[in-house]
Amino acid sequence: MNASGDFLPSVSPRTLFGQRVCDLGWNAALGLVESLVALRGNRTTLGFLDERTAFRQMVDPAYRSQLGRRMLLPGGGRAFRVLSKVRGEKPAPVCFSAKTFVPALLSFLEKSHRIGIAGEDGGRAEALREHFARHAPWHQVVVIAPDQEISRRFDLIIVDAASIAQERRIERRLASVRTGLVVMAGSGLSAFIQGRTAGSVPTAATSQPLPSFA
C-alpha cells in the first residue's frame, strides 16, 4: 500500500476495526516491506494496528483517516483479541509489533541502507540509534534531530513517538523528506532502551511462525 492507501496487488487484505491490514506471514511481510524501501520515488508509511491504535481510531475520526492512509500490519495483545471477538471479527493469524518487526526488518535488509531515527526526545533517539547500529552494523543509522534541516535522502525512517500528538507533529515535519519508507513505531521500541533484552523476531509468547530470512 502506498501513501494514498491503495493496496498493492501482492497484499492479501483483511479488515479489522474498520481498517484494512496486511494478512501476511513473516517472510512475505518482510519481503514486501523490503520492496517498498526500494521504491524511493513513492513513499509508504507503515504502522501497526494494535490495541492502542485500534481504540484511538474508534473515537478519533482524524486519526482513523490517518491510519487509512498507511500500510497496516495487524497487532496482538489480549485486549485487542478480546475486542476483536466482541466485534465478531477474526484476528489475523500472524501478529506484528514495532518491537519485533523493526529489528527483524533491519536484519532482513542485507544491503547497507541509510536509516533515520526521528523523535522529539533526543536521548531516546540516540539510544535507539546506538542499539540498532549494534544490531545491524552494516546499516548507516543516524538521528534526525527535531530542529534539523533535512536535505539528504533516507532509505528508511523509524519514528519513535510517545503519544499520537507527537506522532502527528513528526509526520508533518517529515512530509518533505525523501525516503522510501516511514515506520511509525509509536513507543513500541522502549524495551531496547530500558536495559531489557528483546529479540529481533517473535518470542515464544506469540504463536506465529518465525521468519527464516531464507
Tell me the torsion sign for CA atoms 182, 186, 188, 190.
positive
The percent of residues in the chain predicted with pLDDT above 90, rounded, is 51
| Concatenated DSSP letters of 148-190 | ----S-EEEEEEE-SSHHHHHHHHHHTTTS-EEEEEEEETTTG
Flag whether pLDDT at 1 surpasses 60.
no
Q: What is the pTM of this model?
A: 0.83
Cell 512475505, residue located = 28
| Range of lowest pLDDT (3-17, 170-184, 195-209) | 195-209
Residue, of 117 and 202, whose pLDDT is higher: 117
Give the per-residue pLDDT at 198: 38
Give the per-residue pLDDT at 41: 64
Q: How far apart are CA 5 and CA 70, in angstroms?
A: 6
Closest by CA to 49, choosing from 95, 106, 2, 5, is 95
Average pLDDT over residues 192-196: 69
Average pLDDT over residues 71-90: 79
Give the per-residue pLDDT at 195: 56
Give the per-residue pLDDT at 6: 52
Q: What is the pLDDT of residues 118-144, one digit of tens each?
A: 999 999 999 999 999 999 999 999 999
Average pLDDT over residues 145-161: 89
Q: Which residues pair with 157 in a beta bridge?
A: 116, 182
Kind plus residue range of the DSSP H or E element containing 99: helix 98-108
Average pLDDT over residues 5-9: 48
Flag whether pLDDT at 8 surpasses 60.
no
Q: Is 181:156 a contact under the CB 8 Å cutoff?
A: yes
- Quick one: 40 exposed, middle or buried, by C-beta within 10 A (0-12, 13-18, 19+)? middle
Closest by CA to 45, choosing from 193, 158, 210, 206, is 158
| Range of lowest pLDDT (46-50, 60-64, 144-148) | 144-148
Radius of gyration of the CA atoms of the chain, in A: 16
Q: According to the per-residue pLDDT averaged within each range, which of 74-78, 79-83, 85-89, 162-166 is highest?
A: 162-166
Flag whether pLDDT at 62 surpasses 50.
yes
